[in-house]
């Protein structure tokens, strides 16, 4: 079975048992890997009775059939679990080197169950798997832990949590390769709840394609397309992901001061252009990636690190009313070192600032207080003072202080850097995303702003449901193979199918892949329904629905969600309550799952 190793490593930290189980071939064909395989395994392992921070929750690390083949961006991997922030199914993926290296140890996936009595770390090589004491690492930051465990880019890779994960912060990330993150939804807290500090991988097994000649051809063609696209060959290397900040601001969709405004008057000072002008040292790449979007930056105080990416720049910048690029970059370094989701951290800080300004939160906190970023982030990771409330995420914070409407979140996951009032389709993406407000599960930035692949009216609602659904299914495909989504800017599903065919020896078409995407999306929906979520949870914050934008290019607009949602359910083959109809489940091969639910 080429593309897949056919083996799942299964570790129970409660008993210390280490087992290997075979990967079901049919499951691999239907769900591919990454997010799809992780979600399918989670369906069987974690039911609605399980608290996300209980030993019965699991962490499932998954690679895909393309991982470690050397095809462009074949470095990524996924983690699936039940989220301690949202209570939904959670999938999160990351780049770097760790995913490639884990695959090279000879496994497609790793299931971690139970809870170790004391802090431990896992080491995986092709020869052996060990669970060792990690008491000496507990309390160390991500950077300290990564260095202590001997991170070596192409040979030995470290995945770990920082203090935030240890302290069960609900917005804690799992970090890999020092500054890469499985961030959204709090997987770091799940890892912390298991007393698992780190997973080190060192492998040498090759993921050899079934058809070497065709694979080489696909590598060549993919390289050609990535080079020909000005997006992947110029825009990302020159300015990184934050280059879109000015465009999102220009159209009046850059959330500012906790989404009270949609344009930030200091947007240019914190944009990708300014990062390049002021703090960029060099650009870097993940394993097997020619795009090189990563920013290595250094501030005048001598601090250096990766990023900030667009979302992090926004979260610690416009969302918090802060225009000091150097302090934003340093906030990003700190959040990475402590193991926090920068989107949720910055969004929650912005929420706290509005709560304080409006008198709900008794704290000396105002928008624009850049000097407070460091302490707020630090205190969140260690749950000190106000940080203990921030550690619960914006929804629980705002609810505790009597103003849940000021949490800019969906299903308790903080919204990222696009205001749905200026991008109606993006609002539908947030409202229906299975892990809560998330742009990565079907980002409409392309069609609604950048004309990728073509421009549609960002204020229109009619017809958006179909476009959003296709984007969501496509993202699920990319997350299951696992590619980087930026490749998809130059390379279409047809190419993915041909490459996958060359790797696995199994014929896949673009239609087959899109069916996988729909299957994965629907499975996630079923999971959340089983957890008790309903159509009522497919919504947006009251501010988005009822407060028109006061000025700028999006002036007068609210998020007109209801008609899009109705159309969305119909397009997806779901009933008016957002429940997939039996014939849709039959079509996707999911009917058996519901029968046993």
- Contact positions vs other proteins (CB under 8 A): 229-232, 234-236, 238-247, 250-252, 268, 272-273, 310-311, 439-440, 443, 445-446, 449-452, 455, 457, 486, 489, 552-554
The residue (of 252 and 393) whose beta carbon lies closer to other proteins is 252
CB of 349: closest distance to other proteins in angstroms? 21
Q: Which residue, 148 or 452, is less far from other proteins as judged by CB?
A: 452
Q: Return the number of the residue (56 or 238) whose C-beta is nearest other proteins.
A: 238
Of 551, 541, 553, the closest CA to residue 459 belongs to 553
Return the number of the residue (241 or 260) whose C-beta is nearest other proteins.
241
Q: Which residues contact 595 (CB under 8 A, 6 or more apart)?
A: none
Cβ 237 vs Cβ 293: under 8 Å: yes
Taking the C-alpha atoms of residue 258 and residue 250, their distance in angstroms, rounded to an integer, is 18
User: CA 216 → CA 213, 224, 439, distances in Å?
Assistant: 5, 12, 33
C-alpha to C-alpha distance for 562 and 451, rounded to whole angstroms? 25
- Cβ distance to other proteins smaller for residue 407 or 554: 554
Q: Shortest approach of other proteins to residue 227 CB, angstroms?
A: 14
DSSP element (H, E) containing 441: none
In angstroms, give the least distance from the CB of 471 to other proteins.
Answer: 12
| Nearest residue (CB) to other proteins, 548 versus 582 | 548
Residue 29, Cβ density class (10 Å: 0-12 exposed, 13-18 middle, ≥19 buried): middle
Supply the minimum distance, in Å, between the C-beta of residue 229 and other proteins: 8
Give the residue ranges of DSSP H helices in 255-370.
272-278, 310-316, 325-338, 342-357
| Segment holding 174, helix H or strand E | strand 174-176
Closest to other proteins by CB, 129 vs 231, is 231
At its nearest, how many Å lie between other proteins and the CB of residue 238?
6
Q: Which is nearer to other proteins, 225 or 445 (CB)?
A: 445
| Closest distance to other proteins from the beta carbon of 293 (Å) | 8
Asked if 432 and 562 count as a contact pair (C-beta separation under 8 A), the reply is no
Q: Of the two residues 291 and 381, which places its CB atom closer to other proteins in the complex?
A: 291
Query: Minimum Å distance from CB 539 to other proteins?
Result: 23
Residue 220 or residue 268: which is nearer to other proteins going by CB? Answer: 268
- Cα–Cα distance for residue pair 536/83, rounded to 1 Å: 19
Pairing of β 59-62 and β 109-113: antiparallel
CA-wise closest residue to 287 among 148, 94, 108: 94
Residue 226 Cβ, how far from other proteins at the closest point, in Å?
Answer: 12
d(CA 434, CA 524): 6
Determine contact, residues 321/153, Cβ cutoff 8 Å.
no
Nearest Cα to Cα of residue 296 among 276, 285, 281: 281
How far apart are CB 509 and other proteins at their closest, in Å?
26
CB of 445 to other proteins, least distance (A): 5
Report DSSP letters for 54-91, one per residue: STTS-EEEE--TTTTS-STTTT-EEEEEE-TTTSSEEE
Q: DSSP class of residue 210?
A: S
């Amino acid at each position: 079975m080429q593309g897949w190793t056919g083996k799942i490593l299964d570790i129970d930290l409660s008993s210390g048992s280490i087992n290997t189980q075979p990967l079901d071939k049919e499951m691999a064909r239907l769900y591919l890997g990454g997010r799809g395989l992780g979600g399918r395994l989670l369906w069987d392992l974690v039911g609605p009775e399980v608290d996300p921070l209980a030993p019965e929750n699991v962490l499932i690390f998954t690679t895909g059939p393309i991982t470690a083949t050397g095809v462009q961006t074949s470095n990524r991997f996924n983690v699936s679990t039940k989220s301690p922030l949202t209570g939904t199914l959670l999938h999160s993926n990351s780049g770097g080197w760790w995913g490639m290296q884990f695959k090279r140890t000879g496994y497609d996936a790793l299931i971690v169950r139970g809870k170790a009595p004391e802090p431990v770390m896992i080491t995986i090589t092709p020869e052996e798997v060990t669970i060792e004491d990690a008491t000496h690492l507990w309390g160390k930051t991500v950077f300290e832990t990564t260095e202590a465990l001997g991170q070596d880019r192409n040979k030995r890779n470290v995945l770990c949590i920082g203090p935030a994960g240890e302290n069960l912060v609900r917005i804690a990330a799992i970090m890999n390769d020092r500054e890469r993150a499985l961030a959204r939804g709090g997987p770091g807290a799940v890892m912390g709840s298991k007393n698992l500090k780190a997973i080190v991988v060192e492998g040498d097994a090759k993921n050899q394609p079934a058809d070497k000649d065709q694979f080489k051809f696909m590598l060549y063609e993919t390289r050609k397309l990535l080079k020909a696209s000005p997006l992947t060959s110029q825009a990302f290397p020159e300015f990184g992901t934050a280059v879109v900040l000015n465009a999102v601001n220009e159209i009046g969709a850059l959330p500012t001061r906790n989404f009270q405004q949609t344009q930030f008057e200091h947007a240019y000072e914190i944009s990708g252009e300014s990062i390049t002008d002021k703090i960029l040292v060099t650009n870097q790449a993940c394993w097997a990636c020619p795009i090189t979007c990563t920013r290595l930056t250094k501030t005048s105080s001598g601090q250096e690190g990766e990023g900030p990416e667009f979302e992090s720049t926004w979260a610690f910048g416009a969302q918090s009313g802060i225009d000091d690029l150097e302090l934003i970059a340093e906030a990003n370094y700190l959040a990475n070192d402590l193991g926090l989701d920068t989107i949720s951290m910055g969004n929650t800080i912005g929420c706290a600032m509005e709560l304080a300004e409006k008198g709900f939160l008794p704290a000396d906190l105002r928008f624009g207080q850049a000097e407070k970023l460091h302490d707020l982030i630090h205190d969140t990771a260690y749950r000190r003072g106000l940080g203990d409330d921030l550690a619960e995420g914006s929804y629980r914070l705002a609810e505790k202080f009597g103003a849940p409407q000021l949490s800019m979140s969906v299903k308790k996951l903080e919204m990222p850097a696009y205001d749905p009032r200026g991008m109606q389709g993006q609002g539908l993406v947030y409202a229906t995303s299975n892990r809560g407000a998330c742009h990565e599960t079907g980002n409409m930035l392309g069609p609604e702003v950048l004309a990728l692949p073509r421009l549609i009216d960002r204020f229109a609602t009619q017809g958006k449901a179909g476009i959003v659904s296709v984007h969501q299914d496509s993202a699920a495909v990319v997350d299951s193979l696992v590619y980087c989504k930026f490749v998809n800017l130059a390379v279409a599903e047809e190419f993915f199918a041909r490459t996958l065919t060359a790797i696995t020896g199994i014929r896949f078409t673009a239609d087959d892949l899109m069916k996988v995407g729909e299957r994965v999306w629907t499975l996630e929906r079923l999971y959340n329904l089983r957890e008790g979520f309903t159509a009522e949870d497919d919504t947006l914050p009251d501010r988005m629905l009822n407060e028109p934008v006061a000025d700028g290019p999006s002036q007068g607009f609210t998020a007109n969600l209801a008609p899009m949602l109705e159309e969305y359910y119909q397009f997806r083959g779901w009933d008016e309550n957002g429940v997939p109809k039996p014939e849709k489940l039959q079509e996707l091969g999911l009917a058996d799952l519901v029968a046993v639910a």
